[in-house]
A and B are shown apart, each in its own frame.
Chain A
């Protein structure tokens, strides 16, 4: 590299740093950001879908709010437990002070987290339960309240179908704890008037759009009356819902999590389908923000947030329009999540479109 190039690169870097520090200084430093300098690592067990890309970008955006964070690193386990473990070990060995971990592999990553914790790093696993004990295996676990999602859906179903009805509940892989928690939440508020017509505890879709399509067409053929479909991954329904037209039936009410493609599908199809009402909870990209806040607070000596469980807020309700009517941004990719705190355009950039 020539001297001139080095100079211009250095100048650009300096300008960038100056701009960043000015921006940061203008924005108020949040209370969870303490005075001690620290480095932060975000570790994903699997980073290869749009939800994860938006979540990762959200985590980075949150960390950038704290000027005490001197270094930010990210590692993608690529769905490989061995790689996820080695990512944790290597970050701990590099002396990264705070580790925020999406432990997809569950308890399999606990020994690595425990080692990192014992070596003095602030370890904050989030969303997926990795087992272990707070203070012993890691600093803090930031869970997500899937039971709460189930309760929100259950309450809406009660409002929409006060006389009771048939519910078809779809979740991901067989036995996943998210689906079980959501079912427990729904059962808290729904009585015997509401019948779950899916196989116990939920119809398995692996959150795969094409499997969802096959499962849904079988269930529609089997059940003459489906009053509401509950799914914990709304966008995966988009490919499957046109199946109702094959049976000359209206798409029923749907309680699910949000996604731009689903909202746009509702906008295009609700007039032709009189029973198609839509209710969504936020899909929870912002779970990572709470985890980052905790990790940064513990690492820099800031004040930890009051919450330690992420509660996904209700997002869209096509019946009451409150808190939001169904919102479609058809100028942006279908694979973004308008419920996330991150700006819509920044999300579009994060998913590479």
Chain B
């Protein structure tokens, strides 16, 4: 547990991973994204044309938002498999309860948020308070959420309201609104995590719950809150999907679970918990989405597209795994007092 060695570093709050290492994580994501953009420019210029970006950025924004939610849970050493059900439930509530009527949109959205709160609190109690295994608890919650999805929708897709598609699918100053939502949430999550006492405590607890408990922090409350906030982010993603995709299926969350974990890992958040990297997570979401756009633009067969994405993930995870070992050695030699906290 390399990162736990350094948790109670000098002076006040434990900060998790060291600045050198963080910078590498951030640089890795940014560098890979730049390389990918260059490769796109050289081999598939259509993938970075304005029209293609306008078409694909909303989906990157969705991955970014669910990635931020998953990041919060991963920061607490957990996993949230109820993401698929949470997103799908938000989608069907927003489309079915409003039934194409703008007037009922607000109440539908509020109901979706309320459901997300209930699911998040249940997850939080199961994992944070009752100490159930996160994978088991959230897989069960996922099944319950899908039960609700069927109860609301019967599995049938429905067309979204015009207002919703204007809000989520429209543009402001040439920028897709969904992207603005993702960036706004990124700023919010970054600010809370990095610049508030609660956020600093949250990261400290993720890095070493035992030490944090000894320091008098409310470990269970913070661990539970990770699931609640994650569900709220999934809910936002689901609501946006209902506007971006004109007739979303009732199972829209299924294809987001793997990317959500992938972007968290690519951004350098340790699966063992600790510091989170919201900005890197959002960039990683853009990277992952652009990678599939590149594969589509090059016109490789579908099998190869899947393999390219899988390879990118393996490489991404590999890079961090190697660095874990190296930084563990480094850490044994260095003191950890150089921790800083630039995002």
Contact = CB atoms under 8 A, between A and B. Distances in A.
Partners in one complex: yes
A246 B247 contact: no
Interface in A279-305: none
B46 interface: yes
A48 interface: yes
B182 to A, nearest CB: 16
Given A48-B150, A238-B247, A246-B51, A222 B157 contact: no
Interface stretch (A2-10, A34-42, A92-100, A209-217): A209-217
B47 A221 contact: yes
A258 to B, nearest CB: 15
A353 B158 CA distance: 10
Contacts of A335: 156-159, 247
Q: What size tier do the contact residues of chain B reach?
A: 35 or more
A208 B59 CA distance: 14
Given A217-B56, A218-B46, A199 B245 contact: no
A334 B248 CA distance: 12
Interface in A217-236: 217-222, 235-236
A261 interface: yes
A217 B52 contact: yes
A51 B140 CA distance: 29
Contact of B157 (A50, A215, A218, A243): A50
B301 A199 contact: yes
Contacts of A215: 296
A221 B157 contact: no
B299 to A, nearest CB: 5
B104 to A, nearest CB: 14
B86 to A, nearest CB: 17
A246 B54 contact: yes
Nearest to B160: A239
A213 B49 CA distance: 16
Contacts of A219: 296
B51 A221 contact: yes
A209 B246 contact: yes
A interface residue count range (under 10 / 10 to 19 / 20 to 34 / 35 or more): 35 or more
Interface stretch (B4-12, B204-212, B249-257, B278-286): B249-257
A238 B169 CA distance: 14
Contacts of A220: 51-52, 55
A210 B59 contact: yes
A151 interface: no
Contact of A209 (B52, B56, B154, B247): B247
Contacts of B301: 199-200
A247 interface: yes
B297 to A, nearest CB: 5
A47 B154 CA distance: 9
B51 A210 contact: no
B244 interface: yes
Contacts of A247: 51
A333 interface: yes
B246 A218 contact: no
A239 B247 contact: yes
Contact of A333 (B49, B50, B158): B158
Contacts of B52: 217-218, 220-221
A174 B302 contact: yes
A162 interface: no
A243 to B, nearest CB: 5
A234 B154 CA distance: 21
B255 A218 contact: no
Contact of B154 (A214, A334, A352): A352
Contact of A261 (B155, B159, B293, B300): B159
Given A213-B245, A221-B52, A238-B246, A199 B299 contact: yes
A49 interface: yes
A217 B156 contact: no
Contacts of B154: 48, 53, 351-352
Contacts of B54: 217, 246
B292 A209 contact: no
Contacts of A210: 59, 241, 244-245, 248-249, 252, 255
15 contacts: A49-B155, A49-B157, A50-B156, A199-B300, A199-B302, A209-B246, A213-B244, A214-B292, A220-B55, A222-B47, A243-B51, A246-B51, A247-B51, A261-B159, A334-B247
Interface of B: 44, 46-47, 49-52, 54-56, 59, 99, 150, 154-159, 241, 244-250, 252, 255, 292-293, 296-297, 299-303
